[in-house]
Amino acid sequence: MRYPFIKLPRKVELALFLIQAELKTRKFFNGLHNVGLDDCDYQCNFNALIADCIGFDDHRDEDFSRFDEILEKYSDKIEPDNESLMKQVMNAYVELVLEKKNQQAASNRQ
């Protein structure tokens, strides 16, 4: 199935790129962990950059914990094809944006 190309804002494009890299990295290192290869110091972590691109206001532990859960959930769903990867990237992006809005609404109520 072919979709028409659309131009995305730079911040969104960068966020999608970073989410893609993060999901692939997590999938790879989770696979290594599953076969008994642990304690690798070379795993990249793009969480802070992704949070900044999406516009998370603060870096509280509770927020990053939820943020991390979302990325982990979608990295587990990746299949070894580009379509699956891009689908999970978009799903993760949408859920992260919704989480940001929920957090903003909660902080406005306080």
Is the CA virtual torsion 4, 7, 8, 10 positive or negative?
Answer: positive
Structural domain contains residue 42: yes
39 versus 29: the higher-pLDDT residue is: 29
In this prediction the pTM is 0.87
**Alpha-carbon span 45 to 31, nearest angstrom:** 16
How many distinct structural domains can be found in the chain?
1
Structural domain contains residue 4: no
Structural domain contains residue 5: no
Structural domain contains residue 101: yes
Amino acid (one-letter) located at 101: K
Q: Inform me whether the pLDDT recorded for 85 exceeds 90.
A: yes
Q: Inform me whether the pLDDT recorded for 45 exceeds 70.
A: yes
Structural domain contains residue 37: yes
**Alpha-carbon span 107 to 94, nearest angstrom:** 20
Q: Which of 3-7, 50-54, 57-61, 63-67 has the lowest mean pLDDT?
A: 57-61
Domain extent at residue 23: 10-109
Is the CA virtual torsion 20, 24, 27, 33 positive or negative?
Answer: negative
Contact in structure between 30 and 75 (CB atoms under 8 Å): yes
Query: Which pLDDT belongs to residue 57?
Result: 65
